[in-house]
Structure 1
Amino acid sequence: MTIFDDIRLLRVTYLRGPNLWTYRSALEVWLDLGELEKHPSDKLPGFVARLTAALPALEEHHCGVGERGGFLQRLVEGTWMGHVLEHVVIELLNLAGMPTGFGQTRSTSKPGVYRMVFRARDEAVARCALEHGHRVLMGVINGLAVDVSAAVQAVREAIDRAYLGPSTAHIVASATDRRIPHLRLNEGNLVQLGHGKRQHRIWTAETDRTSAIAEGIARDKDLTKRLITAVGVPVPEGRIADSAAAAWEAAEAIGVPVAVKPSDGNHGRGVTLDLTTREQVEAAWVLAEQEGSEVIVERYIPGDEHRLLVVAGQLVAAARGEAAWVNADGRQTVAQLVEAQLNNDPRRGETEDHPLGRIDVREDGAIVADLRRQGLHAEAVPEAGRRVLIQRNGNVAIDCTDEVHPDFARIASLAARTIGLDIAGVDLVAQDIAKPLAQQQAAVVEVNAGPGLLSHLKPAVGSPRPVGKAIVDHLFPPGDDGRIPLVGIAGGGSTSRIARLVAWLLQLSGRQVGLACREGLYLGTRRVDERDATDGALAERLLLNRDVDAAVFENDAATILDQGLVYDRCRIGVVTDLDNAAALERHDIRDADGLPRVLRTQMDVVLSDGCGVLNADDARIAELAQYCDGAVILYATKGAALAAHREAGGRAVLAREGAIVLCEGTAEEPLTLRGSTHLHLHELLPAVAAAWAFGLAPALLAAGIDTFDVHTCAETH
């Protein structure tokens, strides 16, 4: 059997935003097949069988055929290895739990060299999938043993390292459903929703509206109880105990049974319930003291634990807990019974993907204490038929949102508002949450900032609740998409002066305008960075800035090909020219005819209530109007180029005898300029059209042009 050299990966580029291929981030790979160019899939004996044996789910790939089994059909008919690599990488991502459907492979002008691209939500994960997919494919090609499970595990670990936690991811997905953009601000779960002045930030279930004072109060359980008691929220009587002996004194004063817990603990750690003897109370104090700065002894309230999620004063979800028990068979130890009857439940695990946690009967102090009270320990063998209590709390994962009586919704909301939390997890104990408060003994035991959402997103029993939507709606009222107006200006040549003029004109509307262009990064007329700000990492700073309420971005073809756009959508998109194709040879673009497909990206991202601005002097650019979801303004130095567009009632900007004329259908309005301008028509016309699309009145446009000084924007910090 012939052994083939590895497919060479010539260049790997992460495209962070909308690009030549797709609206979303992607990984583009230039690869050289070498000798494999002469050996498509149907020319390699046994290859298809080996590949489908290694990755049987490839049968589900539709490919260009458009139906299940489409890719297998292509394999049998014969397809090149670049295309096969695309599908292998996508399948590894699918198997690792990151469903991926988009991929393309295209030949270049050089024989054997291809451009392969696939959807990449994260660069590190995409590169990992590419590395292992490449290794698997070469193994299959050369008839070697391949370890697909190891490849999948490597990709899965990369996903675990790189991706948002499930609670944060759910909130971000809810924002995406409302077309609110997001930016990840660190390697953890700090995420910005929206842009510039209209942004909000989340950190899991905390927001930039979550008060630091309220968080501090919530951490202090004794202070929390005193405050919510004062407004009429029922709480269990309790006292701070600074020693084990003091804990028993408090228990005697309150009356047993009692609960003992750390004053500033969380997730139920160090909490022991239903204590009746001095030995139990003092042992529980030692356990609680290890988990917090102070220990509280409080009256034990019989009933089930409940977690009520309150967002902006409204109850949005509720979950109930239940005690965990095992049934003894007279043969197995307590630890073995727990593994067989509780920990084998697929809903239990160590990660946030599991609604229930694994139970450790040897290390969890509260469990050890409860077993001791029953005369047992982890290695004891209870008699057959005995029912053994393993865990009293920590299993809050049964959805009960629809059962909550209005009394409990009211006190949960009151507790959250009293502490001052915009998002709160209110823990309460009740015998039946569906019945009125007056008919039972019930109490709020904790109010938590930054509550976990998993019990509402993936309950062990019951329906998931759209808590992410509630949080997003809290931050962004209906109709608010968190976007500031963005203007993208794309061309094959230099568009810096156009971008600067547009930014100048937009400031006349009273907005704080940011500008990212080849000459630097600007806030108003102040240049804050002199580096080329067509680089996405620099340009993104405008989207992060809370002072910016409009921004202008210069994007040449190289920027789109090398990085993708820094924004997902824009209010106004401008395409000016098809110059400078010679500088794009490394992208396999040889002349201006290759540029419209690249610059189309700028039209693809115009919002439906936005506007595309196109140079009608070049028919290839004017044809990009078909890809714009919003309105279109054409501009030209020759009126004939605008005739059909104007006859259809469209807006246009034209040059006539040295003057600039704004047209809407047959109506015309000339701009009255006071003096001569140093700007050329190919700079003036697109800038005027973009500012007009933004909503500037003709008089303001004229004033802006008259007062624009190209040197004004060169001021540095």
Structure 2
Amino acid sequence: MSKKNDIRLLRINYLRGPNMWTYRPVLEVWLDLGELEDYPSNLLPGFNDRLTTALPALIEHHCGVGERGGFIERLRDGTWMGHVLEHIVIELLNLAGMPTGFGQTRATSQRGVYRMVFRARDEQVARAALAEGHALLMATINAEAFDVPAAVARVRDKLDDCYLGPSTAAIVAAATDRRIPHIRLNDGNLVQLGHGQRQRRIWTAETDMTSAIAEGIASDKDLTKSLLKAVGVPVPAGREIKTAAEAWEAAQDVGLPVVVKPSDGNHGRGVTLDIQTEADCEAAFKLADAHGSSVLVESYIRGNEHRLLVVGGQVVAAARGEAAWVHGDGRQTVAQLVDSQINVDPRRGLTEDFPLNRVRIAEDGVILLDLQRQGLTPDSVPEAGRQVLIQRNGNVAIDCTSEVHPEVAHAVSLAARTVGLDIAGVDLVTEDIGKPLAETGGAIVEVNAGPGLLMHLKPAGGAPQPVGQAIIDHLFAEDESGRIPIVGVAGSRGGHQITRLVAWLLHLNGRHVGLACKDGLFLGTRRVEKRNSARWDAAHRLLMNRGVNAVVVENDAASILRDGLAYDRAAVGVVTDLDGIAALAEFDVQDGDQLYKVLRTQIDVVLSDGASVLHAAHARLVDMAELSDGEVVFYAEDGALEAILHHRDRGGRAVFLRGGAAVLAQGPAETPGANIEALLRRFGSAAVDAATLLAAVAAAWALGISPELIAAGLDTFVPELHLA
């Protein structure tokens, strides 16, 4: 078989919010199969075997068949290469550690051109997986060699570069479980939870409730000790020193053995334990001095190091460290013994995916010093049977949450409160955390701001702890979701007028409103940008704004197709019509059924306690009502429409026109409302129609605004207010 030409990727578009494909972000790829349009998988000799050999886990892909092996069945029956590329990319993401289950491939109106989408939590990672998948597919088609493990490694490297760290990811996942929305604010771990005025922010395990003063105190170990001692928390005796000579003098004053450590270091760097000689003290001082601005000498507390996580004044997790030893065999060096007896542990590695760190002797001055104190170097060959201490307290990663004595928990909580941290990692040393510190002679040695959570999420031993959930419960009360009312208006008719009216009525109802529509970007009654702001980025900015507690957004079909929605869920979703197909040629939307799939996105995201507002004069929009998780409110000029009468018979709400005024009806009950004819006259050249005004009335009513305020608000609305 002759070599096949490359599949061309015509367009790559990241849909950042809910879209016509799914509720979640996806990467949408337009691709041209070229000559491969005539070669489905069953017409390429050997292709299926080569592909399943390269990616054997494809057997797990259900595909449209709905069961294990479904995609393999499609391959055997014959499927086109766009569909195959979709599954290759999904599998590469799975192998790289970003599990992905969603993908779709659909033909366009042009022969050989397809739209392929797949779930994409991060755009850059998705693009990397697409590039590798494309290369793998073409190599497989043409029976060329391809290094799958190397491709997976490249995708994983991009994932490590771009994705949230494990601590932040755990908190975000806990927020998602409670349906609290999140927005990533930088390329690192700064994340907004919730929207507008109800948002909270985290930066790994620090929150916007974390005091800068408390952080400053925690970074000064000597100051921390003095404050803890003042409130009765047991701490080791010691003092801050400046020279090696002072270190030995302080050690003798404190009483041997001692600990020498930097005053503002972290992660145990430069900390030397159980020092008993002047020479060791001098060496430990030099090591500590290289890791901090000053050095502390403290009494040595016997026992294992423990890390307890305090959230909102409560101990929510605890982990214990253990000493690491090797046993000499008379043949291997210390460095070789470390690799063969310690680093061989599959729980050890160099990334945050591993609960235990790989021991790297040559790079750890504390280990080198401890070896020196035992008369050894990394190249020494210990005699058979000799035990060699490598780390006095290895990674603190053995869960012991259930063992913590209540009095220990009280002391640790008091320590965090004394420093002033809402989230703290408290380090203590004790021989038995199941007994009060007074019995064991234990003491709290450090209080840390911004503690890592990995030891509690993926302990080397024991059960993982739900620390992400604890932090979310600390930030948000049980009945809080972090959400503010969001109103989305979709369609091609009167969207900017509807959104402006709804924003005005919300303003009169006491809300601080952000508005993004074709007339501009508004904060309250002030227009801050004059350009067309019916765009994803404009709406997204409003959700980030701490000054707003309601957001109104105009979404036309093109913006949904180009970016998706800027929000995951809405309190009210309005769809006005299914017109405007002519303007959507670039998206290959050519009929009402296709446009229906686009605009239904606005209804798909309505909250269960929200409402969908639909124009009852359009039969397809009446059908859209069944997609709403929330209430449905119909509107139309004609209140005698069958859809409205049937809806009212079932107790539903509707808004219609009678005698020039809006009527707000629920079941048989009717309330007269705003003077629509008067407002039509005031709009004048804006040429707004009655249906548009009724849509605004229905949306405001769905938001809980009273009919009386709606009527008064429309009477006072000035169409030209923001347009000068």
**Structure 1 length-normalised TM:** 0.98
Question: Would you say 1:694 and 2:703 are equivalent positions?
Answer: yes
Instruction: Find the residue that maps to 2:640 and give its secondary structure.
Output: helix
Aligned to 1:302: 302
Distance 2:534 2:370 in 1: 63
* Unaligned ranges ≥5, structure 1: none
Q: State yes or no: 1:17 paired with 2:26.
A: no
Q: Which moved further from structure 2: 343-352 or 245-254? A: 343-352
Distance between the aligned counterparts of 2:363 and 2:689, measured in 1? 77
Moved more, 147-156 or 643-652: 147-156
Structure 2 counterpart of 1:573: 573
Look up the match of 1:180.
180
Residue 334 of structure 1 corresponds to which residue in structure 2? Answer: 334
The equivalent of 1:538 in structure 2 is 538
Within the alignment, does 1:650 sit opposite 2:656 as a pair?
no
- Note the 1:346-495 alignment, pairs <5 A: 346-495=346-495
Q: Residues 250-272 of structure 1: CA distance to partner in whole angstroms, max 9, x if unpaired? A: 01111100000000000000100
Alignment partner of 1:293 is 2:293: yes
Q: Tell me the secondary structure at the aligned position of residue 188 of structure 1.
A: coil
1:67 is displaced (CA, Å) by 0.3
CA distance, structure 2, for counterparts of residue 109 and residue 287 of structure 1: 69
Kept after mapping to 2: 8 A contact 1:193/1:200: yes
Determine the C-alpha separation between the residues in 1 that align with 2:72 and 2:717. 61
> Which runs of no fewer than 5 residues in structure 2 stay unpaired?
none
SS at structure 1 position matched to 2:249: helix
Residues in 2 aligned to 1:438 and 1:219: alpha-carbon distance in whole angstroms: 26
1:88-167 equivalent positions in 2, closer than 5 A:
88-167=88-167
Q: Which amino acid aligns with 2:663?
A: V
Q: Distance in 2 between matches of 1:707 and 1:714?
A: 16
Is the contact made by 2:676 and 2:693 (CA closer than 8 Å) also made in structure 1? no
RMSD: 1.1
1:684 aligns with 2:693: yes
Is the Cα–Cα contact under 8 Å of residues 582 and 591 in structure 1 kept in the other structure? no
Query: What residue identity is the alignment partner of 2:712?
Result: A
Conservation of the 8 A alpha-carbon contact between 2:660 and 2:677:
no
Q: Quote the residue 2:75 is aligned against.
A: 75
Structure-2 separation of matches of 1:215 and 1:437: 25
CA shift at 1:494, angstroms?
Answer: 4.5
2:175 and 2:363 map into 1 onto residues whose CA distance is: 40
Whether the 8 Å CA contact 2:661–2:676 is kept in 1: the answer is: no
Segment of structure 1 superposing worse, 435-444 or 10-19: 435-444
Q: Compute the displacement of 1:296 (Å).
A: 0.5
AA in 2 matched with 1:215? E
1:166 Cα offset (Å): 0.4
For residues 140-172 of structure 1, what are the alpha-carbon distances to aligned partners after superposition, in whole Å with 9 as ceiling and x for unaligned? Answer: 111111221221111111111110000000000
Find the aligned partners of 1:442 and 1:2 in 2 and give their Cα distance.
75
The answer as to whether partners of 1:572 and 1:611 remain within 8 angstroms in 2 is yes
Residue in 1 that maps onto 2:605: 605
Q: C-alpha separation between the residues in 2 aligned to 1:42 and 1:242? A: 76
1:705 is matched with which residue?
714
**Is it true that 1:714 corresponds to 2:723 in the alignment?**
yes
Quote how far apart the aligned CAs of 1:49 are. Answer: 1.1
User: TM-score, normalised on structure 2?
Assistant: 0.98
Aligned equivalent of 1:673, options 661, 672, 675: 675
Q: Does structure 2 retain, via aligned residues, the 8 Å contact 1:329–1:382?
A: yes
Larger deviation: 210-219 or 657-666?
A: 657-666
Cα drift, residue 532 of structure 1: 2.1
Shift of 1:671: 1.1
Question: 1:625 matched to which residue of 2?
Answer: 625
2:26 paired with 1:26: yes
SS of the equivalent of 2:20 reads coil
CA distance in 2 between counterparts of 1:53 and 1:277 reads 62
Q: Render the CA deviation track for 1:186-225: whole Å, top value 9, x for unaligned.
A: 0000000000000000000000000000000000000000
Question: Structure 1: which 4+ aligned runs deviate by more than 4 Å?
Answer: none
1:103-148 CA distance string (max 9 Å, x none): 0111111111111111011111111111111111111111111221
Which piece of structure 1 moves more, 471-480 or 353-362?
Answer: 353-362
Check conservation: 1:673, 1:702, Cα contact below 8 A.
Answer: yes
8 A contact 1:673–1:703 mirrored in 2: no
Q: Is the 8 A contact 1:268 1:393 kept in 2?
A: no
Alpha-carbon shift at residue 592 of structure 1 (Å): 3.7
* Corresponding residue number in structure 2 for 1:245: 245
**Could you tell me whether the CA contact under 8 Å between 1:492 and 1:595 is conserved in 2?**
no
The AA in structure 1 aligned to 2:318 is A
Task: Report the AA paired with residue 167 of structure 2.
Answer: S
Cα distance in 2, alignment partners of residues 507 and 691 from structure 1: 11
In the TM superposition, what is the alpha-carbon distance from 1:180 to its structure 2 partner? 0.2
Farther off after superposition, 50-59 or 480-489: 50-59
Distance 2:704 2:149 in 1: 57
Whether the 8 Å contact between 1:675 and 1:706 is mirrored in structure 2 is no
* Aligned-partner Cα distance in 2 for 1:706–1:227: 63
C-alpha contact 2:247 2:297 (8 A) present in aligned 1: yes
Counterpart of 1:223?
223
CA separation in 1, counterparts of 2:446 and 2:720?
Answer: 61
Between the aligned partners of 1:397 and 1:593, the Cα distance in structure 2 is: 55
- 2:22 and 2:605 mapped to 1: Cα distance? 10
Q: Which amino acid aligns with 1:429?
A: V
SS in 1 for 2:167: helix
Query: Secondary structure of 2:30's partner?
Result: strand
Between 411-420 and 670-679, report the one with greater CA deviation. 670-679
Q: Do the aligned partners of 1:526 and 1:714 also contact (CA within 8 Å) in 2?
A: no
1:26-72 CA deviation, whole Å, 9 max, x = no partner? 01111111111111111111111111111111111100000000011
The CA distance in 1 between the partners of 2:201 and 2:594, in whole Å, is 40
Aligned to 2:66: 66
Match of 2:583 in 1: 583
Give 3-state SS (helix, strand or coil) of 1:186's partner: coil
* Structure-1 separation of matches of 2:103 and 2:306: 46
| C-alpha spacing 1:675/1:631, structure 2 compared with 1 (3 Å) | closer
Return the alpha-carbon distance in structure 1 between the equivalents of residues 561 and 358 of structure 2: 48
Q: Report SS of the residue matched to 2:645.
A: helix
Distance 2:146 2:215 in 1: 52
Q: 1:265 to 1:394 in 2, by over 3 A?
A: farther
Return the letter of the residue paired with 1:654. Answer: F
DSSP-derived class of the 1:539 partner: helix
Q: Does 1:508 align with 2:508?
A: yes
SS of the equivalent of 2:352 reads coil
SS at the partner of 1:45? Answer: coil
DSSP 3-state at the match of 2:621: helix
* CA distance in structure 2 between the partners assigned to 1:260 and 1:309 by the alignment: 24
Q: Percent identity?
A: 67
8 Å contact kept, 2:660–2:676: no
C-alpha distance after superposition, 1:642-682 (max 9, x if no partner) = 11111111000001232110000011111153981135312
Please say which of residues 215-224 and 155-164 is displaced more in the overlay. 155-164
AA matched with 1:684: L
**Local SS of the residue matching 2:36:** helix
Deviations 1:661-710 (A, max 9, x none): 00000111111539811353122111000000001111100011001112
What SS does the aligned partner of 2:186 have? coil
Report if aligned partners of 1:504, 1:708 keep a CA contact under 8 Å in 2. Answer: yes
**2:178 matches 1:169:** no
Q: Distance in 2 between matches of 1:278 and 1:467?
A: 43
Provide the C-alpha distance between the structure 2 equivalents of 1:699 and 1:447, rounded to a whole number of angstroms: 57
Task: Give the residue type in structure 2 aligned to 1:580.
Answer: G
Residues 77-119 of structure 1 deviation map (CA, whole Å, 9 limit, x = unaligned) = 1111111111111111111111111001111111111111110
Instruction: Say yes or no: does 1:261 pair with 2:270.
Output: no
